[in-house]
Amino acid sequence: MKKSKKSKNPKAAGSNPNGAGRSWFDGRPEDMVVSKLKDAFSIGANVTRACAHAGILRQTYYEYLKIHPELTDTFERLQLKPILKAEANIAEKLNQGDIEISKWLLERRAKEDYSSRQEIAGPSLMPVEISPEKKARIMALLKKNRNEK
């Protein structure tokens, strides 16, 4: 009867990157852990939550991806699924003529024309230079608002 040799190949199922010591996932089947990661990512979980769901450390996750870089794209695509589903839901409501969804979308995608609020900071959240006239108007409105309360 032949004894099976342990593979020193770091890509061997369950082995760690050094080919020695404990297995990747403390004895849990590799396919089960990867499946749990995929499940979590497909509902929009971040890395921390996906690792918690799979019962592994974040460090183990990142070390595993170094050996299996092909999974990086898979996991990233899975994280986009809920966003794509939400966009499909919005598109469906738009196609049904839903006015509230139409307003909501315009307020977010065409802010400059449809937003009910105005941003004072620029896109980088840095202060925006405004004219002394506009500053005076803003200050007057703030003062009036405080006096009304």
Locate 103 and state its tokens.
């307003």
The CB-based long-range contact list for 70-74 (8 Å cut-off, 24+ gap) reads 71/34, 74/38
Residue 6 has pLDDT above 50, yes or no: no
How far is the C-alpha of 128 from the C-alpha of 11, rounded, in Å? 53
pLDDT, residue 124, reads 66
Is the separation of the CB atoms in 74 and 38 below 8 Å? yes
User: How far apart, in whole angstroms, are the C-alpha atoms of residue 142 and residue 116?
Assistant: 17
3-state SS, residue 10: coil
Block residue for tokens 């959240």? 125
Length of the chain: 149
Name the residue with higher pLDDT: 133 or 19. 133
pLDDT in tens, 44-92: 999 999 999 999 999 999 999 999 999 999 999 999 999 999 999 999 9
